[in-house]
Amino acid sequence: MNLEYLAYVLLSEMSQDQFRNKTRGTTIKGIPRKDLKNILIPLPPPEEQKQIAHILSTVDKKIEIEQRKKQLLKELFKTMLHKLMRGEIRLKEVEV
């Protein structure tokens, strides 16, 4: 079994729903062993697991890059707004 694939499966919404539905207890929450054995995990062939994990990893990296870009653009916007409000930059000086 590909461990990266398994991690993605266990973190998926489908698995998390199964875990939530089988959780018991009020103070200390847990899943009884008999219920844990009934949790379904999709198990394609090993090569397919590897491909799925690779694709999901690539998508995660792209999401992370886009989130960083978004944060940088927010910071740039704040900086530009600040400079515009203080009169350090005039719109007629900015080329669009």
DSSP annotation string for 57-68: HHHHHHHHHHHH
Task: Report if residue 73 sits inside a domain.
Answer: yes
Q: Which amino acid is at 52?
A: I
Task: Report if residue 96 sits inside a domain.
Answer: no
Predicted pLDDT of residue 91: 78
Task: Report pLDDT digits (tens) over 60-81.
Answer: 999 999 999 999 999 999 999 9
Task: Report if residue 85 sits inside a domain.
Answer: yes
Predicted pLDDT of residue 96: 60
Task: Report if residue 42 sits inside a domain.
Answer: yes
Residue numbers in the chain where pLDDT is lower than 50: none
39 Cβ contact partners less than 8 Å away, ≥ 6 residues apart? 15, 18, 19, 22, 31
Predicted pLDDT of residue 9: 96
Task: Report if residue 56 sits inside a domain.
Answer: yes
Task: Report if residue 55 sits inside a domain.
Answer: yes
Look at the chain and report how many structural domains it folds into.
1
Range of the domain at 25: 3-91
Task: Report if residue 63 sits inside a domain.
Answer: yes
Which three-class secondary structure state does DSSP give residue 82?
helix
- Of the chain, the percentage scoring pLDDT greater than 70 comes to 96
Task: Report if residue 21 sits inside a domain.
Answer: yes
Residue pointed to by tokens 């989130």:
67
